[in-house]
Structure 1
Amino acid sequence: MSFVESEERQALRKAVFDFGSRYGAEYFTAKARAGEKTTELWAEAGKLGYLGVAVPEEFGGGGGGIGDLAAVCEELAAAGSPLLMMVVSPAICATIIARFGTSEQKQRWLPGFADGTTKMAFAITEPDAGSNSHKLATSIRREGDEWVLGGRKTYISGVDEADAVLVVARHVDSKGQRLLPSLMIVPTDAPGFEFQPIEMDIVSPEKQFTLFFDEVRLPSDALVGAPDAGIGQLFAGLNPERIMAASFSTGLARNALARATEYVKTRKVWDTPIGAHQGLSHPLAQCAIQIELARLMTQKAAALYDAGDDRGAGEAANMAKYSAAEAATATVDQAIQSHGGNGLATEYGLGALLGASRLGRIAPVSREMILNYVSQHTLGLPKSY
């Protein structure tokens, strides 16, 4: 057992951080506030192979694991250039297709994931069901050689910049009974598929959407895996999503902590750096500890997943996502407090991190649902819902 990442992983982290720093927070925030996309950043990251580190080598990827992709996600966020679509496209969608897709689906999609030329959104959340896969109303049924998709999804990221959406729907059999969840690849230009933006106060180039599927007809090869594969196949993508969300949060927290640390070193009151006072140094030290603990759990979750231990990875991924979101929320708050009035000045960029850090406690799974999971699966307590 080693608590130190390999030299290759450390080298990857340094290279990605240096790359992300060339763009940095000013570039990212300016794009977000202007309603523009970070197209140049994504494209260069793809060309350099960073987006495809976990895609199998035979399809042009790096052949690494989710731990490598999570390291890329964290370092970009730490450099001030967080990419939310990394949590979705190369993590959830590419992982599911690599594990369960047909050879034709792998050839069609994985090379694009590897070089960043393809983006795919992921849609599970519904207005009346949240992320409860047992209550999903979006359905597919078979008609001849086609699938017919109907329903709605909400709070789906990045649909306007995606080539397709991997949609979770419940298969309806010939008797009208809803079976276990299925996964369908839906092109964003498919007839009958519409999406509308949701106005958000979060400063982010990635937008959120409500999706409408009105008798969308799809070819037979739109199905990924078995038609009623259920929770097992679904969580092959959701555990990486939690690991990536944790890395997104820890990277964001590191960025906020670095800004706060630099500020309290140089800001002087009565000829003394304010960082010399325990009222500021201790809270920032606590944030540093929280971040490192969350990073360790995230690395454990990634190691378990890459080792094929889906059950162990599920528990660790949930814990990692919870702890990382709490660390990010606390760190951004303390960074703002450490700056005093400057903490909410546009010049210092911390106010823009508020929404993103807080979102980690809600999505892709809420902190309350994680506590439910740990209560039931770790502690063996009765199910509460």
Structure 2
Amino acid sequence: MEGTANHGIPLLMMVVGPTMSLAHIASHGTEFHKKELLPLACRGEIQFCFAITEPGAGSNTIKATTLARRKGNRFALTGEKTFITGADVSDYCLVVARTKPHTEVSRKTDGFTLFAVDLKKKGVEMQRVKVSIPLPEEQWTLFFDEVDLGPEDIVGEVDDGFSILFDSLNPERIILAALCCGIGRFALRKAVAYACERNVFGQPIGAHQGVQHPLAKAHTAVEMASLMTHRAAWEFDNKLSAGASSNMAKYAAAEAGIEAVDAALQAHGGSGFTEDTGLYELYPLVRLLRTAPVNRELCLSFIGEKVMGLPRSH
């Protein structure tokens, strides 16, 4: 959970896209996907990314406009996806597209199809999204212009992709919850070491409750979030309904991670903002994870509606 690079930028960001894609390929892919692409991806010989977000359809996937238009038994994919992690280093992208516009379906969740798109195909272009946070992988906008796709590229059933789409969201939440817990533990370990060795007024600063209590409170929050993360992972591994635990884990871990990094920065004083300490650069990352890829408010709405039985809010 806590592998790091660049003074502590976690490496787990690199596995979110492949995890969301390969789970679908394993469960719903064609024989070609399972026998050819999946083994290569598992060996790390090819890379996958995942594309669902659009400039005009972030959390509201229903309003996605990227369309795979039928041409006989084939499709022509046209549209735009954004904030696609690692698209430049990926060979394939699992693309969530509409095969029927939302204005032409009886249920708003109808008309979605998932495609494993070879990013070397004609009609695929990409443009970097400049994000003001140091991350292991860059963000990209993908443009599709009449990209030719066939039955061999379909993952799952045509027009019924929404029913399997959210299979990927629980492991995504679990992975990111684990990431936030790892960031929190990393920051707190550095803070404890510093607070034990830094002497002011004749004793280590960690002996002062003003330093000690925020670190202890953050440690408690991280460990509580970690327990919920393990519960969510156990439920998912045992093919149980993991939605409630996954959303609670993601929410709790993001909040705990922010609290831990903030407490660690405060304990370090001015040195926490130096490059040598390698702490401050964690803050924008962990703050990002409160918002993306699923924001705090959607997690709380899921918990309120699906877990507690409150009226639907959106």
State TM-score, norm by structure 1.
Answer: 0.77
Aligned ranges for residues 67-106 of structure 1 at < 5 Å? 81-89=10-18, 91-106=19-34
Q: Aligned AA for 1:282?
A: H
Shifted more, 287-296 versus 142-151: the winner is 142-151
Distance 1:293 1:359 in 2: 21
Structure 1 contact 93–122 (Cα < 8 Å) conserved: yes
How much has 1:81 moved relative to structure 2?
Answer: 4.2
Aligned to 2:216: 285
Distance 1:314 1:84 in 2: 21
- Partner secondary structure for residue 147 of structure 2: strand
Distance 2:180 2:120 in 1: 32
Distance 1:384 1:373 in 2: 9
Distance 1:232 1:295 in 2: 29
User: Are positions 1:192 and 2:123 aligned together?
Assistant: yes
Distance 1:190 1:344 in 2: 45
Structure 1 contact 80–255 (Cα < 8 Å) conserved: no
Residue among 218, 230, 237 paired with 1:306: 237
Distance 1:230 1:160 in 2: 25
Residue among 90, 98, 101 paired with 1:170: 98
Residue among 256, 262, 279 paired with 1:333: 262
Kindly provide the CA deviation profile for residues 12-35 of structure 1, in whole angstroms up to 9, marking residues without a partner as x: x8xxx6xx4xxx54xx35xxxxxx
Structure 2 contact 52–81 (Cα < 8 Å) conserved: yes
Shifted more, 127-136 versus 155-164: the winner is 127-136
Q: Is there any run of 5+ residues in structure 1 with no aligned partner, and where?
A: 1-12, 30-78
User: Are positions 1:267 and 2:194 aligned together?
Assistant: no
How much has 1:361 moved relative to structure 2?
Answer: 0.5
User: Are positions 1:115 and 2:58 aligned together?
Assistant: no
Q: Aligned AA for 1:87?
A: V
Distance 1:383 1:131 in 2: 15
Residue among 63, 81, 84 paired with 1:153: 81
Kindly provide the CA deviation profile for residues 39-66 of structure 1, in whole angstroms up to 9, marking residues without a partner as x: xxxxxxxxxxxxxxxxxxxxxxxxxxxx
- Partner secondary structure for residue 360 of structure 1: helix
Decide which structure has greater helix share.
1
How much has 1:290 moved relative to structure 2?
Answer: 0.8
- Partner secondary structure for residue 290 of structure 2: coil
Distance 1:272 1:80 in 2: 32
User: Are positions 1:358 and 2:287 aligned together?
Assistant: yes
Aligned to 1:243: 174
Structure 1 contact 133–181 (Cα < 8 Å) conserved: no
How much has 1:80 moved relative to structure 2?
Answer: 5.6
Q: Aligned AA for 2:43?
A: D
Structure 2 contact 49–93 (Cα < 8 Å) conserved: yes
Shifted more, 358-367 versus 113-122: the winner is 113-122
- Partner secondary structure for residue 141 of structure 1: strand
Residue among 146, 153, 157 paired with 1:226: 157
Residue among 53, 56, 61 paired with 1:125: 53
Distance 2:143 2:94 in 1: 14
- Partner secondary structure for residue 99 of structure 2: strand
Q: Aligned AA for 1:254?
A: R
- Partner secondary structure for residue 264 of structure 2: helix
C-alpha change, 1:384 and 1:81, in structure 2 (3 Å) is closer
Distance 2:163 2:176 in 1: 20
How much has 1:229 moved relative to structure 2?
Answer: 2.2
How much has 1:82 moved relative to structure 2?
Answer: 2.0
Whose relative contact order is higher, 1 or 2, with alpha carbons under 8 Å and at least 6 apart? 2
- Partner secondary structure for residue 88 of structure 1: helix
Distance 2:163 2:27 in 1: 12
Aligned to 1:33: none
Q: CA RMSD in A?
A: 1.8
Structure 2 contact 9–135 (Cα < 8 Å) conserved: no
Shifted more, 227-236 versus 347-356: the winner is 227-236
How much has 1:152 moved relative to structure 2?
Answer: 1.0
Q: Aligned AA for 1:222?
A: D
State TM-score, norm by structure 2.
Answer: 0.94
Structure 1 contact 182–227 (Cα < 8 Å) conserved: yes
Paired residues, what number? 310
Structure 1 contact 82–252 (Cα < 8 Å) conserved: no
How much has 1:368 moved relative to structure 2?
Answer: 0.6
Q: Percent identity?
A: 43
Structure 2 contact 51–84 (Cα < 8 Å) conserved: yes
